């Protein structure tokens, strides 16, 4: 797990993000950023009296459970480049947690011209670009377009969390470990997660469905992407949505189109 | 009348069951009797000895350390090993070489360890087994499961996972 610092480290990360970006819109993104509420058992009183943090401040009313705020940053293959503890789950918000976990300093130390993407809970800075949230997206057509392209890259961090939690089943239920051990445990799980993905990339299993594209097998021959407007049939023939809807309307001369799944 | 017949049937079934049990027990104990050197002993003493023998055999079969090398050779080409380790065996080994200097190991005499390993219960907890137990723990197994299939005692498994308990520890967020 290594956060990029030099331009040499940033270039391959940006290139891999450029591959999944539609029409290569983002060429300088090196990471996607998000927070995660890690559920834990209510911590014991002995850990919480030392600081200003009380036992009750671990309770998040939004998630209705006690937890810890985890800040993470990942690359285009869902490998974590940073994983740290932001603070107690109840009182710490994402824009404070990113500073507390030390990730903000790392992002400010990025070379000139490289950025990280995050969701709309974060404070926008020069290197940390959040998406437009709420009414801002609807206000302007450009904002909506930006969100469309940025979400393609930002989805990677959500995917990484889901992969980690599904694979390492200790995270399925609230962690009952001592609070001082949780930081090591999370770091350990993140490293193992990276190793598993490295291995899968080495074997060459292409799990990036978004990267797959093909021509529509009907005469329209349109280039279809898996993410936006493609339907894959059982016989590996790709059909674009337009041809499919024309078929169901009875406007195409074809008798049958392979069934979709 | 039917109920009486049913009762009689149940009684006969129970009787046959108990007779079969008694036969089986006598067969099992006959084996232990053969193992005994001294045949000329009183009944009470023989019963005590039987119990002790029985217990020792159970220990030999159940309380043996997880034999890692045998486990790997058996399952190297099957999907089971990969599912248990969550990765291929090659990357497991590379990971182990990375963290081997940091693992807590007790220096043991190898001949002694091999001799103990063949017998009941003993053997050092090798680093492979430590990493295997850790991966199983992180992928959701509980302590009792790990202690069962790795055949580690409860206290030593807790030490492997957490380290030995020190005094009061303080939690600082940063």
The residue with greater pLDDT, A233 or B64, is: B64
Domain count, chain A: 2
Same-domain status, A141 and A47: yes
Average pLDDT over residues B82-109: 81
Same-domain status, A195 and A232: no
pLDDT band of residue A137 (cuts 50, 70, 90) is confident
Same-domain status, A217 and A145: no
Please state, in angstroms and as integers, the Cα–Cα distance from residue A95 to each residue in A100, A123, B132, following that order: 9, 6, 38
The residue with greater pLDDT, A13 or A245, is: A13
What pLDDT was estimated at residue A174?
Answer: 92
What pLDDT was estimated at residue B57?
Answer: 46
What are the residue boundaries of the structural domains of chain B, listed by start?
Answer: 1-28, 68-162
Across chain B, mean pLDDT equals 65
Domain membership flag for residue A133: yes
The residue with greater pLDDT, B25 or A150, is: A150
Phi, psi of B5 (to 5 degrees): -60, -40
What pLDDT was estimated at residue A81?
Answer: 94
Same-domain status, A166 and A237: no
Full domain range(s) for residue A225: 212-248
Same-domain status, A68 and A194: yes
Please state, in angstroms and as integers, the Cα–Cα distance from residue A227 to each residue in A21, A33, A161, B64, B78, following that order: 11, 21, 20, 53, 35
Distance from CA of B11 to the nearest CA of A (A): 50
B59 pLDDT exceeds 60?
no
Residue of A nearest to B82 (CA): A196
What pLDDT was estimated at residue A135?
Answer: 82
A52 pLDDT exceeds 80?
no
B47 pLDDT exceeds 60?
no
What pLDDT was estimated at residue B49?
Answer: 43
The residue with greater pLDDT, B92 or B31, is: B92
The residue with greater pLDDT, B5 or A179, is: A179
Substitution target in A181, A199, A200, A201 with the highest count of B β-carbons within 10 Å is A199
The residue among A130, A155, A154, A125 whose CA lies nearest residue A143 is: A130
pLDDT band of residue A161 (cuts 50, 70, 90) is very high
For residue A53, which residues of chain B lie inside 8 Å, CB to CB?
A: 173
pLDDT tens track for A220-244: 666 666 554 455 544 566 677 777 7
Domain membership flag for residue A1: no
Domain membership flag for residue A257: no
pLDDT tens track for A104-126: 999 999 999 999 999 988 999 99
B30 pLDDT exceeds 80?
no
Domain membership flag for residue A159: yes
Contact A85 B173 (CB under 8 A): yes
What pLDDT was estimated at residue B39?
Answer: 36
The residue among A193, A20, A221, A33 whose CA lies nearest residue A110 is: A33
DSSP states of A240-254 as a string?
EHHHHHHHHTT-SS-
Across chain A, mean pLDDT equals 82
Same-domain status, A239 and A117: no
Domain membership flag for residue A259: no
A93 pLDDT exceeds 70?
yes
pLDDT tens track for B114-139: 666 555 455 667 788 888 888 888 88
Domain membership flag for residue A235: yes
Same-domain status, A138 and A239: no
Distance from CA of A167 to the nearest CA of B (A): 7
Please state, in angstroms and as integers, the Cα–Cα distance from residue A223 to each residue in A214, A252, A254, following that order: 6, 19, 20
pLDDT band of residue B17 (cuts 50, 70, 90) is low
DSSP summary character for residue B66: P
Same-domain status, A66 and A22: yes
Same-domain status, A195 and A145: yes
pLDDT tens track for A190-223: 999 999 888 888 876 555 544 556 666 666 666 6
What pLDDT was estimated at residue A192?
Answer: 92
The pTM (predicted TM-score) of the whole model is 0.68
Tracing tokens 């159970």 back to the chain, one arrives at B58
B50 pLDDT exceeds 80?
no
Same-domain status, A22 and A150: yes
Contact A195 B88 (CB under 8 A): no
DSSP states of A111-157 as a string?
PTT-EEEE-TTSPP-SSEEEPP-THHHHH-HHHHHHHHHHHHHHHHH
Same-domain status, A121 and A235: no
Which of B91, B137, B139 is nearest residue A195 as measured by Cβ atoms? B91
Q: What percent of chain B has pLDDT over 70?
A: 37
What gap in Å lies between CA A220 and CA A254, rounded to an integer? 13
Based on the number of CB atoms within 10 Å of its own CB, is A140 exposed (0-12), middle (13-18) or buried (19 or more)?
A: exposed
What pLDDT was estimated at residue A38?
Answer: 92
Same-domain status, A151 and A218: no
Q: Are strands A59-60 and A115-118 parallel, antiparallel or unpaired?
A: unpaired
């Amino acid at each position: 797990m290594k956060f990029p610092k030099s331009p040499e480290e940033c270039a391959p990360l940006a290139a891999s993000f450029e591959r999944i970006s539609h029409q290569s819109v983002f060429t300088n993104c090196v990471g996607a950023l998000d927070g995660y509420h890690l559920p834990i058992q209510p911590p014991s009183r002995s850990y919480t009296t030392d600081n200003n943090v009380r036992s009750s401040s671990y309770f998040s009313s939004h998630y209705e459970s006690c937890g810890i705020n985890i800040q993470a940053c990942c690359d285009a293959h869902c490998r974590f480049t940073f994983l740290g503890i932001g603070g107690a789950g109840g009182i710490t918000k994402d824009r404070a947690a990113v500073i507390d976990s030390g990730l903000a300093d790392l992002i400010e130390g990025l070379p000139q011209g490289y950025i990280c993407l995050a969701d709309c809970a974060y404070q926008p800075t020069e290197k940390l670009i959040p998406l437009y949230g709420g009414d801002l997206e609807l206000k302007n057509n450009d904002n909506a377009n930006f969100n469309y392209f940025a979400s393609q890259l930002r989805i990677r961090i959500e995917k990484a969390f889901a992969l980690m939690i599904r694979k390492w089943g200790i995270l399925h239920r609230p962690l009952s470990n001592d609070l001082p051990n949780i930081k090591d445990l999370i770091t350990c799980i993140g490293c193992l997660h990276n190793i598993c993905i490295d291995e899968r990339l080495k074997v060459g299993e292409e799990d990036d469905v978004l990267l797959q594209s093909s021509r529509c097998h009907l005469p329209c021959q349109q280039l279809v992407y898996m993410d936006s407007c493609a339907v894959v049939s059982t016989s590996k023939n790709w059909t674009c949505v337009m041809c499919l809807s024309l078929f169901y309307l009875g406007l195409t001369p074809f008798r049958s189109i392979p069934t979709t799944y | 009348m039917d109920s009486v017949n049913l009762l009689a049937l149940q009684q006969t079934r129970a009787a046959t069951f108990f007779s079969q049990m008694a036969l089986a027990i006598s067969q099992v104990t006959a084996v232990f009797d053969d193992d005994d050197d001294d045949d000329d002993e009183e009944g009470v003493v023989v019963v005590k000895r039987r119990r002790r023998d029985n217990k020792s055999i159970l220990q030999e079969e159940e309380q043996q350390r997880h034999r890692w090398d045998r486990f790997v050779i058996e399952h190297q080409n099957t999907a089971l090993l990969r599912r248990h380790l969550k990765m291929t065996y090659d990357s497991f080994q590379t990971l182990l070489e990375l963290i081997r200097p940091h693992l807590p190991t007790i220096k043991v005499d190898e001949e002694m360890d091999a001799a103990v390993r063949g017998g009941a219960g003993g053997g050092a907890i090798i680093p492979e087994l430590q990493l295997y137990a850790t991966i199983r723990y992180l992928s959701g197994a509980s302590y009792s499961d790990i202690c069962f299939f790795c055949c580690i005692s409860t206290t030593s498994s807790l030490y492997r996972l957490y380290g030995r308990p020190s005094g009061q520890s303080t939690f600082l967020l940063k």
